[in-house]
Amino acid sequence: MKKVILFVSILLLTANVSFSQDTPSPASSGSIIDIYFKSYNSEPEYRSTDITEEMMNKIREKGTWGNPKFDKFMRQIKLYKKLSFKSNKEHSEQIFANVEAAIKKDRLYKPYFKWNKDGGQSYFYIKSNDNKITEFSFITIMPDRNIFTVSSFNGDNIDIETIRSFTHDK
């Protein structure tokens, strides 16, 4: 009898492992904010902004972009998300350590670039699909202002190089 129970248990465990590997992870959909920062919505002064393609079209129609290059780049973007909340240096570092560990584990995002400026740190990430960049995001910790921010640009094929040219025209 024990052998039968053991056999059935092994069979069920094997089936569960093989089926769960075929199922895509539910965390793989959405932006970096949706995947890794939803649980932080109780942080103080938590603010989240979504600019959809429709709203970007409206901004474009009204000619609100300060430079035609912004407009050109934003045509590649279907969704822009921004998240910010109050957080001191230690807490921000702890949150980033947790998120970084999860990103490394899931392998959905590749670290692209790290930048230190005025005592703050920014961590840039990209998500690709068939060599096309579908998301460009960055996490910024600003200890002097006690702010933690995340920005995310989502599209079908984002050309990051075009962003670099903005510094020459501003």
Partner 1 sequence: MEQDKIVLLLEKYWKAETTLEEEKIIKKYLATNQDKNLEENYNWFKVIEKAQSIAPKPIEHSGKSNGAFKLTLTKIAASVIVITAGFLWGLNYYNRVQAEKDIVLSKQVEADLIYVAEALDQGYDNLNESKDILLDIKPLK
| One residue of 32, 35, 74, 158 binding partner 1 per CB under 8 A | 74
Where b means 16+ CB within 10 Å and e means fewer, 137-165 reads: bbbbbbbeebbbbbbbbbbeebeeeeeee
Picking from 121, 128, 112, the residue whose alpha carbon sits closest to that of residue 148 is 121
Nearer to partner 1, 118 or 130 (CB): 118
Take residue 36 and report the two structure tokens written for it. 């890794």
Does position 145 interact with partner 1 (CB under 8 A)? The reply is no
Going from the C-alpha of 27 to that of each of 2, 5, 54, 150, the distances in angstroms are 38, 34, 25, 17
Shortest distance (Å) from residue 32 CB to partner 1:
14
Q: Binding string to partner 1 for residues 101 to 120, with x set by CB under 8 A, is what? A: ------------x-x-x---
| One residue of 80, 96, 109, 125 binding partner 1 per CB under 8 A | 80
Shortest distance (Å) from residue 66 CB to partner 1:
6
Please give the full DSSP string across 6-44, using - where no structure is assigned.
Answer: HHHHHHHHHHHHHHHHHSPPGGGSS-HHHHHSGGGTTST
Shortest distance (Å) from residue 122 CB to partner 1:
6
Interaction site with partner 1 (CB under 8 A): 49, 51, 55, 58-59, 62, 64-67, 70, 73-74, 80, 82, 113, 115, 117, 122, 124, 136, 138, 151, 160, 163-167, 170
